[in-house]
Amino acid sequence: MGEIYSPGKLMLTSEYFAVDGALVLAVPTKLGQEFFFEEKQDGKSLIFWEAYHQNKLWLKAVIDYKSWQILETNITSSAEFILKTLKNVQSLSEIKFKSTQSYYLKTNLQFPSDYGLGSSSTLMNNLAEWANIDPFHLNSISLGGSGYDIAVARAKSAVLYQNKPEIQFEKVDFNPKFKEELIFVHLNQKQDSREGISLYKSKIKSQKLVDEFSDLTRNILLCNELENFSELMMLHEQKISDFIEIPTVKSKFFADCPTFVKSLGAWGGDFVMSAKFEGFKDYFWGKGFSTVYEWGDLVV
């Protein structure tokens, strides 16, 4: 049985403005998604799909890829999404789902599904690598979004990503000397990024503002001191807040926090980034946020 792996991601800069071409800095996580595959020449043209979450089976489906019908499943809505995605794979691939062999496909998501680390993007990248197709195209027709998460999964590295005028990204060595002072706190809920993007798209923005986030990303990448990094993160957070007219997560939950608190990705859920201070774990736990990672625990 073959195996492919894609890491999850954390979006450090540009959030919603990524869809309008702002430069994004994103990093890979130690947890990601595994994809196992086997093909058998049995003349049946079937897909046997199993999806595991932290090694526990949650979805099973048997799909006939000649008629594109679900023959068996335990969760119809999830199986329908898999069918749609695999049908897209067929339309883009020159080699998969073209004859009569059967496919035994299994996924294992290594992180909790409410972490927002890229359960969908890691799946899209794994399928694209397996089928030898463009992961950005597959993601675009299956899910949408800016595509930065696909770039991280594909590069398996920190990246600078930009999607306008066309998709371009490069691996970068984001290894600040103060990284062990950085922490990530989970907000106990998964945020729907498409909902947030819809809100963002409803507002009029200027190219000047988009460019300002690209400049912030470049400056953040070059930071050598935590103090400067913290200032840029606070500036970034306030600019987003002013534009989307949503209070910062710090003002909402952590007004008395002595360090910066920066949303990562869609606002209102998933992870935020902050910096260590005396008693930081007790502080966040005391406010009901018990999932606190240090940089080296979460980021590759």
165 and 190 within one domain: no
The tens digit of pLDDT for each residue in 91-137 reads 999 999 999 999 999 999 999 988 999 999 999 999 999 999 999 99
User: Domain boundary residue among 125, 150, 171?
Assistant: 171
The answer on 147 and 19 residing in a single domain is yes
pLDDT at 198: 72
Helices (H), the chain: 76-92, 119-131, 135-142, 148-155, 193-201, 207-221, 226-244, 249-253, 280-286, 295-298
Residue 117 to residue 113: CA distance in whole angstroms: 8
pTM of the complete model beyond 0.75: yes
Same domain, 187 and 262: yes
Last residue of one domain, picked from the residues 128, 153, 171: 171
Per-residue tokens: 241: 């807040």
Looking at the structure, do residues 219 and 91 belong to the same domain, yes or no?
A: no
pLDDT of residue 105: 98
Query: Are both 287 and 151 inside the same structural domain?
Result: no
Could you tell me if 115 and 206 lie in one domain? no
Which residue has 């799946």 as its token pair? 123
Q: Is 185 helix (H, G, I), strand (E, B) or coil?
A: strand
Residue 44 and residue 18 share a domain: yes
Q: Give the pLDDT score at 96.
A: 97
Same-domain pairing of 26 and 54: yes
Q: Do 152 and 44 reside in the same domain of the chain?
A: yes
The two three-digit tokens of residue 300, written as one number? 């590759």
pLDDT of residue 145: 84
Last residue of a domain, one of 171, 198, 227: 171
If asked whether residues 157 and 262 sit together in one domain, one would say no
- pLDDT of amino acid 60: 98
Is the same domain home to 191 and 149?
no
**pLDDT at site 192:** 61
**DSSP bridge pairs for 84:** none
Indicate if 26 and 155 belong to the same structural domain. Answer: yes
Distance CA 165, CA 25 (A): 18
Q: How high is the pLDDT of residue 200?
A: 79
The residue range of the domain holding 42 is: 2-171
CATH assignment of the domain containing 253: 3.30.70.890
**Tokens, residue 163:** 């999607």
Q: What is the pLDDT of residue 194?
A: 64
Domain total in the chain: 2
CATH no. for residue 140? 3.30.230.10
For the chain, which ranges sit under pLDDT 70? 190-196
Q: Which two tokens stand for residue 292?
A: 């606190």
What is the structure's pLDDT at 195? 64
- Sorted by sequence, the CB contacts under 8 Å of residue 83 that are 6+ apart come out as 61, 63, 68, 70
Query: What is the spatial distance between Cα 183 and Cα 111, in angstroms, rounded to a whole number?
Result: 17
Minimal CA–CA distance to 148: which of 176, 129, 168, 134? 168
Half-sphere exposure of 100 (CA within 13 A, CB side): 3
